[in-house]
C-alpha cells in the first residue's frame, strides 16, 4: 500500500494515540494535532522519535493550514465530566472544528473521517440501535453540548458530501475502553478499574441496571481503518462497537473479580439524561467492511487492568 501523509486531530487522546500508532505501523506519515485539553503528551511520547511522526499543538476551532492526503477528525472530549466542563467549547469543537476540517479537506480534495458517537441516539427507544434510527436526544440537557454538537457535525459532513462532492467517512463509536484512557476522566471502565486497584469504593450511578456494550480499543481502530480504506461510496454513518451488552453492575462485579479487589459497591445518584440502554447493531459494519470485534470483555479488561496497574505503580 502506498504511504500517505495523514492528519489525526485529537491524536494525543485515548483513541487518537492508538490510531496514530496503527497508521505509523502501516507505513504512513502522521501529523498529530491536539490542544491537550484531555489528551496527554505521555500518550504519544513513545512516537516522538519516529521519523514519520509530527506533533502540533493546535485548537481545531481555529483554521489549520497544512498539506495532507487524508484526515481523521477525532478532536473532542469524550467523557461526560470533561465535555460538560466547558460545554460551549465542546459545541465549538464539534461544529466549528468540523467546519475547519471539512474546509481543509475541500481545499486539499482529500478524504475526511469523522469520529461520531452512539450519543447521537440519545436515550434510545429502539434497541439495539441501527444507523437508520434518528435518536432520542434532549437538546437542552447537560449532555446536549456533546450529542447535538456531534449531530450537527454529521449534518455538516453530509452537506459537504452532497454540496461539494467531498469524500467522507462517518463512524458512530460505541463505548470503547483500553490502555491510555485518562485515569481521572470519569468514564465507567477507567473509574471502576482505578477504584478497584486502589481498594476504594466502586461508584455505581443509579442502581447499575443501565446497560452499555464495551468495545476494546484495538478492535475499534481496526474498524476505523477498514472504513477509511473502503470504497468511496461507503460513507456511513456506520456503527462500530461490540454488541455484547452488560449492566453497569455486572461490569463492576467483573472488575472486582478480575482485580481480586476488596472494594465494595456504593450507589450514587444517576446523572441527568443518562441513557438506560445502549447496544450497537453492527450488521452494516459486518456486511460492508467485513468488520467485527474479536476481543471480548474479560480479555480487554485484563489488558486494561494491567495498564492501570503499571500507571498507578508509577504515581
CA 11-120-112 angle, 5° bins: 40
Task: Mark whether 133 is an active-site residue.
Answer: no
Among 37, 53, 72, 291, binds ligand NAD (CB under 6 A): 37
Contact status, residue 292 vs residue 286, Cβ threshold 8 Å = yes
Segment near ligand UDP (CB under 6 A), from 36-44, 96-104, 203-211, 306-314? 203-211
CB of 85 to ligand UDP, least distance (A): 13
Strands 168-173 and 111-117: parallel
Closest to ligand NAD by CB, 208 or 280: 280
Is position 176 an interface residue for ligand NAD (rule: CB under 6 A)? Answer: yes
Closest to ligand NAD by CB, 267 or 311: 311
Closest to ligand UDP by CB, 111 or 249: 249
Segment near ligand NAD (CB under 6 A), from 11-19, 20-28, 101-109, 131-139? 11-19
Of ligand NAD, ligand UDP, none, which one sits near residue 205, judging by CB under 5 to 8 A according to partner kind?
ligand UDP
Q: How far apart are CA 309 and CA 109, in angstroms?
A: 45
CB of 42 to ligand NAD, least distance (A): 11
Strands 70-73 and 111-117: parallel
Is position 227 an interface residue for ligand UDP (rule: CB under 6 A)? Answer: no
Is position 74 an interface residue for ligand NAD (rule: CB under 6 A)? Answer: yes
Closest to ligand NAD by CB, 45 or 264: 45
Of ligand NAD, ligand UDP, none, which one sits near residue 212, judging by CB under 5 to 8 A according to partner kind?
ligand UDP
Contact status, residue 290 vs residue 235, Cβ threshold 8 Å = no
Closest to ligand NAD by CB, 115 or 261: 115
Question: Three-class SS of residue 117?
Answer: strand
CB of 199 to ligand NAD, least distance (A): 26
Per-residue x/- marks for ligand NAD, 105-144, CB under 6 A? ----------x-x---------------------------
Instruction: Tell me, rounded to whole angstroms, the distance of Cα 168 from its chain centroid.
Output: 18
CB of 165 to ligand UDP, least distance (A): 34
Q: What residues from 265 to 304 belong to the interface with ligand UDP (CB under 6 A)?
A: 270-271, 274
Contact status, residue 141 vs residue 195, Cβ threshold 8 Å = no
Among 7, 78, 221, 226, binds ligand NAD (CB under 6 A): 78
Q: What residues from 160 to 199 belong to the interface with ligand UDP (CB under 6 A)?
A: 175, 186-188, 191
Contact footprint for ligand NAD (CB under 6 A):
9-10, 12-16, 34-39, 59-61, 74-78, 93, 97, 115, 117, 173, 175-176
Q: Which residues are catalytic?
A: 146
Contact footprint for ligand UDP (CB under 6 A):
79-80, 175, 186-188, 191, 203-205, 210, 212, 248, 270-271, 274
Amino acid at each position: 500500500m502506498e504511504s500517505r501523509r495523514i492528519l489525526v486531530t485529537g491524536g494525543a487522546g485515548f483513541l487518537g494515540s492508538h490510531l496514530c500508532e496503527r497508521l505509523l505501523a502501516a507505513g504512513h506519515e502522521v501529523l498529530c494535532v491536539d490542544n491537550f485539553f484531555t489528551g496527554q503528551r505521555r500518550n504519544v511520547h513513545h512516537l516522538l522519535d519516529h521519523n514519520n511522526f509530527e506533533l502540533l499543538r493546535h485548537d481545531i476551532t481555529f483554521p489549520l493550514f497544512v498539506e495532507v492526503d487524508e484526515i481523521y477528525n477525532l478532536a473532542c472530549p469524550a467523557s461526560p465530566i470533561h465535555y460538560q466542563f466547558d460545554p460551549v467549547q465542546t459545541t465549538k469543537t464539534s461544529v466549528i472544528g468540523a467546519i475547519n476540517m471539512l474546509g481543509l479537506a475541500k481545499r486539499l480534495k482529500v478524504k475526511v473521517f469523522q469520529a461520531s458517537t452512539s450519543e447521537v441516539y440519545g436515550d434510545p427507544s429502539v434497541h439495539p440501535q441501527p444507523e437508520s434510527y434518528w435518536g432520542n436526544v434532549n437538546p437542552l440537557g447537560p449532555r446536549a453540548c456533546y450529542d447535538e454538537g456531534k449531530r450537527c457535525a454529521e449534518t455538516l459532513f453530509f452537506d459537504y458530501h452532497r454540496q461539494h462532492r467531498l469524500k467522507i467517512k462517518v463512524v458512530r463509536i460505541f463505548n470503547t475502553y483500553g490502555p491510555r484512557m485518562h485515569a481521572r476522566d470519569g468514564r465507567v471502565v477507567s473509574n471502576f478499574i482505578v477504584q478497584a486497584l486502589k481498594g476504594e469504593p466502586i461508584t455505581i450511578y443509579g442502581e447499575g441496571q443501565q446497560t452499555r456494550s464495551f468495545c476494546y480499543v484495538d478492535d475499534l481502530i481496526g474498524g476505523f481503518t477498514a472504513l477509511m480504506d473502503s470504497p468511496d461510496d461507503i460513507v456511513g454513518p456506520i456503527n462500530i462497537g461490540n454488541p455484547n451488552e452488560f449492566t453497569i453492575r455486572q461490569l463492576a462485579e467483573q472488575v472486582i473479580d478480575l482485580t481480586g479487589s476488596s472494594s465494595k459497591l456504593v450507589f450514587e445518584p444517576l446523572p441527568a439524561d443518562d441513557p438506560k440502554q445502549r447496544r450497537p447493531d453492527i450488521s452494516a459494519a459486518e456486511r460492508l467492511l467485513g468488520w467485527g470485534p474479536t476481543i471480548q470483555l474479560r480479555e480487554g479488561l485484563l489488558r486494561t487492568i494491567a495498564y492501570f496497574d503499571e500507571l498507578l505503580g508509577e504515581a
